[in-house]
Amino acid sequence: MTAPTAARGRVSTLELFFDLVFVFTVTQTTTLLADDLTLRGFGRVVLLLAVILWMYGGYAWLTNAVPPTNRVRRTLILVGMGSFLAMALAVPEAFGATGWLFGVGYFVVNAVHSGLFLTAGRASAPGMRVIGPVNLVSATLVLVGGFAPLGWRYGLWIAAVVLFLVSPFLRSVSDFAISPEHFVERHGLIIIIALGESIVAIGVGLAGEPMDARVILITVLGLSLAYLMYWVYFGADQSRAEHALSGAALEDRARMALSAYAWAHYVLLLGIVVVAAGLKKAVGHAVEHLTVGQALALGGGLAIYLLGEAYFRRTLRLGAIRFRLLAALVALATVPLGLSVAAVQIFALNLVLTGMFLIEVLRGVETMPE
């Protein structure tokens, strides 16, 4: 038996507008990491991104079933956008002076999400029974944590993330009806926008630099890397992802969507954030050596991205993943190159992805974007 499909078509322009604001929130985590390329900085980004992405996922699942087609829903979406913007502004000092703003913004985002669900009437009841209590408790933890001392803040926000992770195992998510076309397109757009922000990071990193051959070289290499990362995700043929969701059994579709578009996309976005932070620092030092943190951000960020994409492909059975896992290991191995010359490491990362695609083509694995 297959799951019922929600009556949704393509992503609306209002949803895309919402996503642009959301991605600015993600971009702020890139700034946070670029300013603190240490294990502490990475841990903070891992934590913040998990909190941020959980509620974005809530909106993606919500509008998949409840399109913003009337004035009340559109107004609530606008309030949600404003709250995400407040969170974005708070991210750079979320573990300092603006933690309270991050907590308040998150709580309002959650309240708006619940309000939108309620506008759907009886159709929202099954979903609200699953996510309502979880979101309320987690939002309260984030809110209280925003006002708490730093040690308690870590503890409360980690507790919220743990609740996100265990909640699907405590309550079934099979009551959610999913429109595969809309769902796949919505998450694909997020990846495109996030990759676009990595190009913005190149521009920010080059601010004030003279426009010479060195700058042109590093810009081309950075743009090429962003494009190849795009190819990694979209070369899997998104229509096959739609077919995978459409053909899933009733009890499997929502859980499959959760694994592929929540957990795997978290890893994908984390990889993009880390690579963007590395590029932001590296582009201004094209022919110089990088610090260990900067080189790790480039090689390790791409490895994280490839692992997330492999998990995504494995969940939806979109194709072979062994070459992507191997490429992740090779990406990590480029770190010593960055400790010598930044441009050499970025060039090597381009070669890693290009070589992976060539091997996949020779082995008959489809990798060409639509």
**CATH 1.20.1410 spans which residues of the chain?**
182-362
| pLDDT tens by residue, 87-140 | 999 999 999 999 999 999 999 999 988 877 776 655 555 666 667 788 889 999
pLDDT at position 364, please? 73
pLDDT at position 238, please? 74
Model confidence at 42: pLDDT above 50? yes
Alpha-carbon gap, residue 252 to 229, rounded angstroms: 29
Query: Under CATH, what is the fold of the domain 182-362?
Result: I/LWEQ domain (1.20.1410)
pLDDT at position 6, please? 46
Name beta bridge partners: 2. Answer: 249
- In 3D space, the residue among 117, 101, 18, 108 whose CA is nearest the CA of residue 61 turns out to be 117
Model confidence at 239: pLDDT above 60? yes
Query: Which residue reads 């502004």 in tokens?
Result: 89
Question: Which tokens sit at 137?
Answer: 């408790």
pLDDT at position 258, please? 85
User: Which residue has better confidence, 112 or 158?
Assistant: 158
Read off the pTM. 0.91
pLDDT at position 116, please? 79
Greatest mean pLDDT range, 170-174, 228-232, 250-254:
228-232
> For 14-30, what is the mean pLDDT?
89
> For 156-179, what is the mean pLDDT?
80
pLDDT at position 195, please? 92
Query: Which residue reads 């984390």 in tokens?
Result: 270
Alpha-carbon gap, residue 132 to 306, rounded angstroms: 33
Question: Which tokens sit at 186?
Answer: 């919505």
> For 340-369, what is the mean pLDDT?
86
How high does pLDDT run on average in the chain? 86
Q: Where are the alpha helices (DSSP H) in 206-246?
A: 213-234, 238-246
> For 144-165, what is the mean pLDDT?
95
Helix axes 264-282 and 213-234, enclosed angle (nearest 10): 170
Backbone torsion region of residue 317, taken as left when φ is above 0, otherwise alpha when ψ lies between -120 and 50, otherwise beta: left
User: Which residue has better confidence, 316 or 329?
Assistant: 329
| pLDDT tens by residue, 270-311 | 999 999 999 988 887 888 899 999 999 999 999 999 999 999
Q: Where are the alpha helices (DSSP H) in the chain?
A: 13-34, 39-65, 71-90, 99-118, 125-147, 150-170, 180-205, 213-234, 238-246, 250-258, 264-282, 292-316, 322-332, 335-338, 342-362
User: Which residue has better confidence, 20 or 351?
Assistant: 351
- In 3D space, the residue among 228, 203, 230 whose CA is nearest the CA of residue 218 turns out to be 203
CB-CB contact of 48 with 106 (8 Å):
no
Alpha-carbon gap, residue 53 to 106, rounded angstroms: 11
